[in-house]
Structure 1
Amino acid sequence: MADWNPSLYSRYEDERTRPARDLLARVPLQSAALAFDLGCGPGNSTELLVERFPDADVVGTDNSPAMLDAARERVPKARFELSDIASWRPEVRPTLIYANAVLQWVPDHATLLPRLLDALAPGGVLAIQMPDNRDEPTHRLMREVAALPEFAQQIGDYTRLRTELLGLQGYYDLLAPMAEHFDIWRTTYQHPMASAASIVEWVRSTGLRPFIDPLSPPLRERFLAEYERRVADAYPVRADGQRLLAFPRLFIVATRSSAA
């Protein structure tokens, strides 16, 4: 894929930051010596960590140079590193590993998440939030349009474009036996959107990217037009003229044993 676009990603920053705040509110730490923000993006989530733990060494990581440039400008008090979460390992055990809306892009959760929990200092916390919207119309329609003959060859196997989540029970069984304290929940946010085009703009900076990035410009425009037409049908206009975008998200907060 092409590099991420910080400006496009930030157009719905308030809506994207709300679950990051909700996740951080459930982190049971009074202080942190070292905190990592995995997949920090343009720094909106890193900024929350700096505000919550002003004495901590806060490090944001991302695999996008453009996002890291934006984050460094936004949060000068933090450090930022280019890295791939799939192979990332901290040199010093942190108090907090925080991963907001990023692990849905990283494969093999059955191996990855236990490794992240085990990388913490004793009593440290692993805090994760992931979009759980693969079955929502926004994402179901991406796959439907990608399967159309005019797009299928360039897009390829669209079923492998995003990691399939393990579900509440799956993550509980995976991590609860390893954790001193474990909390997991699922919330569906409801976002009023001005139009079908606004919904397309929202997902264009994230979930839609793997579908449209491989396409030639003419095909990309045809894909987006067909996708927007279907989105307009799936999200009808409400009584106030807005369209209501349901956005389910999965949250995990796991504390490593203080005796580890």
Structure 2
Amino acid sequence: MPATTPTWDPSQYLRHADHRARPFADLLARVPALPRDPARIADLGCGPGNVTALLAERWPAAHITGYDNSPEMLAKAEPLAGPTSGGGRLDFAPGDARTWTPSDPYDLIISNATLQWVPGHTDSFPAWVRGLAPGGTFAFQVPGNFDAPSHRLMRELAHSARWKDRLADALRHDDAVHTPAAYLGHLTALGCEADVWETTYLHLLKGEDPVLDWVKGTGLRPVLTELGADAGAFVDEYRAALREAYPATEHGTVFPFRRIFAVARRAA
């Protein structure tokens, strides 16, 4: 069975917006000049649109479309839509990264922390690269922390005797993303000039149970969706395990988070 399709809570997701946006900014900094001006840009898995808006700051004359399959996220993003400062425009539309293919040539196709939700996402790389204008760029970042305590403890609890009947198939597995070398191989095989790297961020989180608060906005969503009103007991068990794995200090709770980045430029 596939992992549970989560119901998203934009407000919960945005509680750690500054930390979540930093990898996108680091990815964006490595995107080269785009081949056309004004550019056509797609953001796959735009979520609440807060980082999509950063694209309009970098390319204010561009036509930028954020695609997402969550009605909740699109509703949160919609107030950001409209004309941009350089005469371009920002809009949002329903779109699922599992099936989306470009209908027009794009100068940039970018995806931020989305492809880990898409089984077999490398199978879509050829169509996405073909959908780039000559000299265009495909760029993405995905979490590389599926073996971290935050995810490992969640999976172990979901497969425990108490929860396995309801949750054994709810979560993604630790192969939801590939190694940096594998991504490099896929992209260079498509004729792209590719730059792939990884970074581990040490987020210093504040508040009570901040790691739990973080994953409630992302990785824990399938559990919360599957269990519904019964999720409280699972969350209590998981909370106790996270407190031990990520002890609070006088300065906050350190949450190491590894991410994998790729920037691939189609030949001009």
Q: TM-score, normalising length from structure 1?
A: 0.93
Which of 43, 47, 53 is the aligned partner of 1:41?
47
Alignment-derived partner of residue 73 in structure 1 = 79
Please give the per-residue CA displacement for 1:149-176, whole angstroms capped at 9, x wherever unaligned.
Answer: 2211111324646762120111111111
Which of 22, 28, 38 is the aligned partner of 1:24?
28
State the 1:94 CA deviation: 0.3
State whether structure 2 residue 245 is matched by structure 1 residue 245.
Answer: no
Alignment-derived partner of residue 132 in structure 2 = 120
CA distance in 2, matches of 1:211, 1:8: 15
State whether structure 2 residue 233 is matched by structure 1 residue 222.
Answer: yes
Please give the per-residue CA displacement for 1:95-114, whole angstroms capped at 9, x wherever unaligned.
Answer: 00010110110111331223
Which of 47, 55, 60 is the aligned partner of 1:54?
60
Say if 1:211 and 1:3 are closer, same or farther in 2 by CA, change over 3 A. closer
For the 8 Å contact 2:45–2:67, the answer to whether it is kept is yes
Q: Which ranges in structure 1 are unaligned for 5 or more consecutive residues?
A: none
Q: Which ranges in structure 2 are unaligned for 5 or more consecutive residues?
A: 84-89
Say if 1:245 and 1:104 are closer, same or farther in 2 by CA, change over 3 A. same
CA distance in 1, matches of 2:7, 2:169: 21
Secondary structure (helix, strand or coil) at the match of 2:227 reads coil
Give 4+ residue runs of structure 1 displaced > 3 Å after superposition: 158-163
For the 8 Å contact 2:103–2:131, the answer to whether it is kept is no
Alignment-derived partner of residue 184 in structure 1 = 196
Please give the per-residue CA displacement for 1:38-96, whole angstroms capped at 9, x wherever unaligned.
Answer: 10001112101111111111001000111111111124331111011111112111000
Which of 96, 99, 105 is the aligned partner of 1:84?
96
Secondary structure (helix, strand or coil) at the match of 1:214 reads helix
State the superposition RMSD in angstroms. 1.7
Aligned length: 256
Which of 246, 252, 260 is the aligned partner of 1:235?
246
For the 8 Å contact 1:189–1:246, the answer to whether it is kept is yes
More helix by share: 1
Say if 1:174 and 1:180 are closer, same or farther in 2 by CA, change over 3 A. closer
Which of 99, 109, 123 is the aligned partner of 2:121?
109
For the 8 Å contact 2:43–2:109, the answer to whether it is kept is yes
Amino acid at match of 2:245: A
Amino acid at match of 1:126: F
State the 1:211 CA deviation: 2.1
Amino acid at match of 2:40: L
